[in-house]
Amino acid sequence: MLGGTERLLWLLLLSLLLPPPSAWGHGGQARPREGTEEAGSARAWLAFQGLRERLRAAGALSRRYWALFSCRVWPEGCGEDEEASARPPGWSLALLGQQYLDILSMWSCSFWDCCDRGDCKIINNFTGLEADLRVRLHGQHLARELVLTAVRGYLEKPRPDKALALSFHGWSGTGKNFVARMLAENLYQDGLRSDCVKVFISTLHFPHPKNVDLYEEELTDKIRKTQEHCRQTLFILDEAEKLHPGLLEALRPHLERQAPNNHRAESKRTIFLFLSNLGGNIINEVVLNLLKAGQSREEVRMEHLESRLQAEIVASTDSGFGHSRLVKENLIDLFIPFLPLEFRHVRLCARDAFLSQDLLYTEEALDEMARMMVYVPKEEQLFSSQGCKSISQRISYVLPEG
């Protein structure tokens, strides 16, 4: 015997196989009179026919979802005709449906390589990025607002005419690398391991000034190949203040405005992140003076910092970054300050370190870890000289023995 669920499934299947109404012999006949057995049968048939049409519509929608899903996961086998059939004229995928499609694509791609390009693993999870910046990044309200607005605005442009260049400035341990990693994790399924993301560290990848010609060739070749491989790329240049002037000049063509191409073609999108300690002292000085004047940290705005930060970068004699054409020709879109971290922010970093290792903690343990850091200036002792750097390595000092 069939159970209730099985009977329902058979009924639904049969409804899709039933012939059209004309085959039932009612095609051109008069409407049955109310109250008769024939009228009751007709009402039942109309209700049944309505159900059948809904099921057929659901089947058509399912086929469209499948076509869109297969084109996303296996793009090499998806021609223009297949994708066009998945999006007939006048039909668009609802926002909720798009979110479900994104989730399903991400889930399936976690089990196998979806394609030989990085494109199918671009996720652009702005909701996740906003949450990470709000919950995991401490004491950086300016960076949180600026990064989210700049990146989302750029990636949502139909046809951007230049790469987005953001320059992060502040003391070590204030979150510059942390935010760069957040961006990679929320824009690409594979994060920093994505083929569309490249990280360059000046002292590691370009250590010898005498080899600058070779480095220029390697850098530009890497950028070009990555852009050919991916329609959306992210390049992170750490210790940007130590980049040789020749390398900075080699980057200039990639940051300049480009003449618009064929409007039918999808524009490439490239984000450059420059991470630097340059300007950290002036940022700290401005914040300290504002705090002494009675303002809260959260009241610090870009108007307080922007002009002084840029002036400090340009005036620096220890780095060629401020004297490069990238800065002089305004090819850097935003200089983003990372503020010095206070005791309360270091405590939050300590808490996060415990949670990331699934360890229990006490408020006393967090205080003890935060007190291990050195605070400056000498008189006020407000700012951690290392930010939150190396805080996770200090957990072992406060764990109970045994």
User: For residues 99 and 372, which has the higher predicted lDDT (pLDDT)?
Assistant: 372
240 pLDDT more than 80:
yes
Could you tell me the sign of the dihedral formed by the alpha carbons of 347, 349, 352, 353, in that order?
negative
| Residue boundaries of the structural domains of the chain | 126-256+268-339, 344-397
Instruction: Annotate 225-285 with DSSP letters as a single string.
Output: HHHHH-SEEEEEEESGGGS-HHHHHHHHHHHS------TTSPPPEEEEEEEE-TTHHHHHH
Picking from 259, 265, 233, the residue whose alpha carbon sits closest to that of residue 165 is: 233
pTM of the predicted protein model: 0.73
Please give the biggest Cα pair distance in the chain.
99
- pLDDT score for 259: 74
Banded model confidence at residue 345, pLDDT cuts 50, 70, 90: very high
User: What tens digit of pLDDT does each residue of 69-100 get?
Assistant: 565 555 555 554 554 454 454 444 444 455 55
DSSP 195: T
Mean pLDDT of 314-325: 92
- End-to-end CA distance of the chain: give it in Å, rounded: 62
Picking from 214, 256, 221, 219, the residue whose alpha carbon sits closest to that of residue 240 is: 219
Picking from 237, 260, 250, 127, the residue whose alpha carbon sits closest to that of residue 180 is: 237
Mean pLDDT of 291-300: 96
352 pLDDT more than 60:
yes
User: What tens digit of pLDDT does each residue of 132-155 get?
Assistant: 999 999 999 999 999 999 999 999
User: What tens digit of pLDDT does each residue of 35-52 get?
Assistant: 566 666 666 667 667 666
Domain at 126-256+268-339: CATH code: 3.40.50.300
